[in-house]
Amino acid sequence: NAGVMQNPRHLVRRRGQEARLRCSPMKGHSHVYWYRQLPEEGLKFMVYLQKENIIDESGMPKERFSAEFPKEGPSILRIQQVVRGDSAAYFCASSPPLQETQYFGPGTRLLVL
């Protein structure tokens, strides 16, 4: 059973460009979570999704950030018009229904120049 997959592993963008981060959950997992890890900080929750539904987006910045988890395909975290402060590691986690343990992917490290 493959683990949580994220791609790309590293992403470089210039200010003002768009960043798209992809996450494929473990097989059988219908819940996806996105977390952001800023330099020298712990992980902070961003958004929790189930298939075609956003359950909790209380950690998402109000502007430029969006997330989706379509019926088919990976979950996408999209950052529009990136700024240097968006540079961070973005981690995706997944879990099956009725289980609280979340399994993490390797992360996408975003660098904004």
Partner 1 sequence: AQSVTQLDSHVSVSEGTPVLLRCNYSSSYSPSLFWYVQHPNKGLQLLLKYTSAATLVKGINGFEAEFKKSETSFHLTKPSAHMSDAAEYFCVVSPQKITGGTSYGKLTFGQGTILTVHP
| Binding to partner 1, residues 8-37 (CB under 8 A) | 31, 33, 35
Cβ neighbours of residue 99 closer than 8 Å, sequence gap 6 or more: none
Q: Does the footprint of partner 1 cover residue 105 (CB under 8 A)?
A: yes
Would you say 38 or 83 has its CB closer to partner 1?
Answer: 38
Q: Is residue 109 at the binding interface for partner 1, with CB under 8 A as the rule?
A: yes
Residue 59 Cα to chain centre, angstroms: 12
By CB under 8 A, tell whether 95 contacts partner 1: yes
Q: How far apart are CA 106 and CA 113, in angstroms?
A: 22
**Only segment of 17-25, 56-64, 66-74, 79-87 that touches partner 1 (CB under 8 A):** 56-64
Residue from 104, 110, 111, 113 touching partner 1 (CB under 8 A): that is 104
Which residue shows structure tokens 């992809």?
22
Q: Extract the tokens encoding 101.
A: 């343990």
Cα torsion 12, 15, 16, 22: sign: positive
Distance of CA 45 to the CA centre of its chain: 10
Residues interacting with partner 1, by CB under 8 A?
Answer: 4, 31, 33, 35, 41-45, 48, 50, 55-56, 58-59, 91, 93, 95, 97-107, 109
